[in-house]
């Protein structure tokens, strides 16, 4: 089964649109990485101030390879050159134990 790695980013409400803008201009490198399965940027629609960057991978090794790659650096270029929009970030790790999508099960 796949693994999920989520970067949980705390973003002050007044900078939320700026974060969305950065992702709109994202490198798109992640989807070319071996073992990549899915990416979603999840914006809070309740009163929280934590965005979730959801990524799903075939194996832990695939995630580690991407996280240590040039593609990761490239994907975080604006963050690295223009400074963070976030005030905190935390990596959350999960194993997928069940999965279902409309039209597909595994
Ligand atoms: C210090 C921790 C991190 C912060 C503050 C952060 C923040 C950001 C920001 C602001 C962007 C938009 C592009 C940019 O501004 O450069 C971005 C891109 C991205 N981040 Fe992070 N990030 C961090 C670490 C991680 C980690 C550990 C993951 C793994 C789940 C991750 C997943 C992604 C992905 C998938 C993209 C899009 C890259 C692409 O399209 O190739 N980030 N991140």
* pTM (2 d.p.): 0.92
- Kindly state whether residue 102 falls inside one of the protein's structural domains: no
d(CA 33, ligand 1 centre) in Å: 14
| Alpha helices (H) in 1-106, listed in sequence order | 16-24, 60-67, 70-75, 77-82
Ligand 1: list residues with CB < 6 Å.
5, 7, 9, 19, 22-23, 26-30, 39, 53, 55, 75-79, 84-86, 89, 91
**Residue 61, token pair as written in the block:** 């090794």
Quote the pLDDT of residue 83: 83
- Kindly state whether residue 14 falls inside one of the protein's structural domains: yes
Q: Which domain holds residue 27?
A: 3-96
d(CA 75, ligand 1 centre) in Å: 6
CA distance 106 to 55: 18
Question: Domain tally for the chain?
Answer: 1
- Kindly state whether residue 18 falls inside one of the protein's structural domains: yes
CATH number of the structural domain spanning residue 31: 3.30.70.100
d(CA 76, ligand 1 centre) in Å: 6
pLDDT tens digits for 9-23?
999 999 999 999 999
- Residues of the chain scoring pLDDT < 50: none
- Kindly state whether residue 101 falls inside one of the protein's structural domains: no
């Amino acid at each position: 089964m796949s693994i999920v790695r989520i970067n949980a980013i705390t973003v002050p409400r007044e900078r939320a649109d700026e974060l969305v803008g950065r992702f709109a201009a994202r490198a798109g490198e992640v989807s070319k990485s071996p073992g990549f399965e899915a990416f979603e940027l999840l914006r809070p629609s309740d009163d929280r101030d934590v965005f979730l960057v959801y990524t799903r991978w075939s194996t832990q090794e695939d995630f580690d390879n991407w996280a240590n790659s040039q593609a990761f650096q490239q994907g975080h270029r604006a963050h690295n050159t223009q400074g963070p929009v976030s005030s905190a970030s935390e990596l959350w790790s999960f194993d997928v134990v069940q999965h279902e999508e409309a039209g597909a099960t595994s």
